[in-house]
Structure 1
Amino acid sequence: VVGIEKDFAIIDVGLKTEGRVSVKEFGVDESGKPTLKVGDTVEVFLERVENAMGEAVISRDKARREEAWTRLEGVYEKNEPVMGTIVGRVKGGFTVDLGGASAFLPGSQVDIRPVRDVGPLMGKEQPFAILKMDRPRGNIVVSRRAILEEARAEQRTELVSQLQEGEVREGVVKNITDYGAFVDLGGI
């Protein structure tokens, strides 16, 4: 960063000319002042070497998106969960922010059972499993349900290992049929 003029940071990217990026793209502190200072080293995405005004065309948001995609591809290959936040509703599901990259969360993948009100889940950081990634199309599909089912399976395995024949346990009656009753023992 070689200078800050009004709402723009002037950034030297090693070309004949500098580029300008809105300081809002770099974030602001709690008082609303930009966190960027002259002399800071930042990562930006070089879109074009020169525009009509002779400036380099650069973007911090695109650099952040590229960083996120590279990070997420590594996570996807290792089949690990990724932290994200549900930020909006779209047709058939929700938009999830994965730290710079947007992903699609299908309505069927929000929870194990259908959810009527997603309000309490909105804006909270939580783990998601990446189901599909397509970089050329810019498409990521995630699931919260896969993470919940995995945790539930672990609970089930643990509970089954603790159960002893003839022991007395507390449970909740879930359903009564002609041939008996279904009792929830906490996951089973």
Structure 2
Amino acid sequence: MSEANLNNTQSSDAMAAALDSVHEVKIGDVVKGEVLAIEDRQVIVGIEGTGVEGVVPQKELSSQPIEDIADVAKVGDQLDLVVISRIGNDKENGSYLLSKRRLEARKVWSEIEQKFANQETITAKVIDVVKGGLVVDAGVRGFVPASMISDRFVRDLSSFKGQELTLQIIEIEPSENRLILSRKALLEQERQAKLQAVFEKMLPGDVVEGEVARLTNFGAFIDLGGVDGLVHVSEISYDHINQPSDVLEVGQKVQVKVLSLDQEKGRISLSIKDTQPGPWDDIADKAPVGSTLEGVVKRLTTFGAFVEVFPGVEGLVHISQISHQHIATPNDVLEEGQTVQVKVLSVDPEQQRLGLSIKALQEKPAGAKDSEHEDVAPSDYVMPEEETGFSIGDMLGKTLDDK
């Protein structure tokens, strides 16, 4: 074979080899591209093994906003890209639209699908607050519905913006770019674990420190370390209060006594007032027999009037001790809310009872007849049993026994 023919044969073989090494570019292919040039808001790359070029728009370079392309790419860089579409109809010399962002998203979706299958959680940053919930960046766009954000009602979602949240994957569909996440489920699991720990170490009667977490009209929720217990409004103070916010504020540290634990319902009942000195403590010193006190008529019954002489301390003025004149009922001379002066006739700290008299501080009018109950001794004036505190004998008076 002549030298010329040999050279032609070698040239043909080289061309054939070169043509064999050129791969056809297809939509969806993952390719490598060498950055050839950076133009306004796009990168020109040579697609490896194809002999053709591609274009990567600035928005397709990263899932994060880019101000300067030079921050993420420079001439000579090798980029992993996915083919999105063809630009023009020239198969030999045409170029392709490529994306780095979508290839990265593919990998993220794959990782999230794997975590979903393994029941693992993901961490994502809240990038926007919308009407229905939170938009998060998990490498791909995710959504947390408002009903799945917390295990309690949240009025203002704006406080979550910028936060990194640990989330449970509820629904995933990469082909539709749908990723639904939940924080509520994880909080409930965490709360149950903390609740279990509290029930294992806490007993009724224990006094512990907590922090006021929330205030409602019916009471205050106290954080005991990730678990809330309720102090009903009636257990906040011995003094009458209209609403918890009158005496408490969110974030305040308080001492509370554990009243009851209901593990099945996850409820803890607490009391603040039981950690404070009771209104009947030292009552014998505050209201010794023979002393004069000022009080307010709280309740009127057929057998007498209950007068509050200290916050949380009521004594009984038996009907026989209201007036020197005969009265049919206490309503004849007294009304609820009226301020009166009373004399202490008897004190029973153990039973929390005070016997009081109004008429003992008044001068007996000339010619006034004694009350029909005059022979009732001060010791017979007792505080009510159950709601009223009186036994039947107490209500009717000792006179019945004498008849």
TM range (shorter): 0.7 to 0.9
Q: Equivalences for 1:81-100 in 2 at 5 Å?
A: 81-99=121-139
Cα RMSD after superposing both structures: 3.1
Contact 2:35–2:79 (CA under 8 A) maintained in structure 1: no
Matches within 5 A, 1:1-188: 1-6=34-39, 7-14=41-48, 15-23=50-58, 25-26=61-62, 33-48=70-85, 50-52=86-88, 54-99=94-139, 101-163=140-202, 167-171=206-210, 172=222, 174-176=230-232, 182-183=269-270
What SS is found at the alignment partner of 1:42? Answer: strand
Deviations 1:107-153, CA, capped at 9 Å, x for gaps: 10111112111222112222111111123332111011122222222
CA–CA separation in structure 2 for the residues paired with 1:30 and 1:156: 49
Deviates more, 1:133-142 or 1:106-115: 133-142
Cα offsets for 1:9-60 (capped at 9, x unmatched)? 2223332312111345246899884232233332222113x32171122112
Distance between the aligned counterparts of 1:128 and 1:162, measured in 2?
A: 30
What is the alpha-carbon distance in structure 2 between the residues aligned to residue 110 and residue 43 of structure 1?
A: 36
- TM-score w.r.t. structure 1 length? 0.79
SS in 1 for 2:165: strand
In 2, the alpha carbon distance for the partners of 1:104 and 1:140 equals 6
Report the Cα distance in structure 2 between the residues aligned to 1:176 and 1:2, rounded to whole angstroms. Answer: 69
Q: CA 1:175/1:94 → structure 2, altered by over 3 Å: closer, same or farther?
A: same
Q: What is the aligned-residue identity percentage?
A: 24
Compared CA separation, residues 9 and 155, structure 1 to 2 (3 A): same
**Secondary structure at 1:44 match in 2:** strand
Q: Secondary structure at the match of 2:176?
A: coil
Q: Give me the TM-score of the superposition, normalised by structure 2.
A: 0.40
- Number of aligned residue pairs: 182
**Distance of 1:81 and 1:73 partners within structure 2:** 11
Cα distance in structure 2, aligned partners of 1:164 and 1:176: 19
| 2:187 partner SS | helix
The structure with higher relative contact order (CA 8 Å, sep 6+) is 1
8 Å contact kept, 1:28–1:35: no
The Cα shift of 1:73 comes to: 0.3
SS in 2 for 1:136: helix
Change (3 A) 1:32 1:51: closer
Contact 1:23–1:34 (CA under 8 A) maintained in structure 2: no
Report if aligned partners of 1:85, 1:97 keep a CA contact under 8 Å in 2.
yes
8 Å contact kept, 2:133–2:146? yes
1:144 & 1:55 partners in 2: Cα distance? Answer: 45
Distance 1:74 1:108, change over 3 A: same
Any gaps of 5 or more consecutive residues in structure 1? none
Give the whole-Å Cα distance in 2 for the aligned partners of 1:138 and 1:28: 19
For residue 42 of structure 2, what is the amino acid of its counterpart?
F
Q: Is the 8 Å Cα contact of residues 125 and 138 (structure 2) preserved in structure 1? A: yes
User: 1:70, CA displacement in angstroms?
Assistant: 0.7
Q: Structure 2 vs 1, CA of residues 31 and 141 (structure 1 numbering), >3 Å: closer, same or farther?
A: closer
Q: Evaluate the alpha carbon distance shift between residue 174 and residue 40 of structure 1 in structure 2; reply closer, same or farther with a 3 A threshold.
A: same
Conserved 8 A contact 1:23-1:36: no
Point out the structure with max Rg over C-alpha.
2
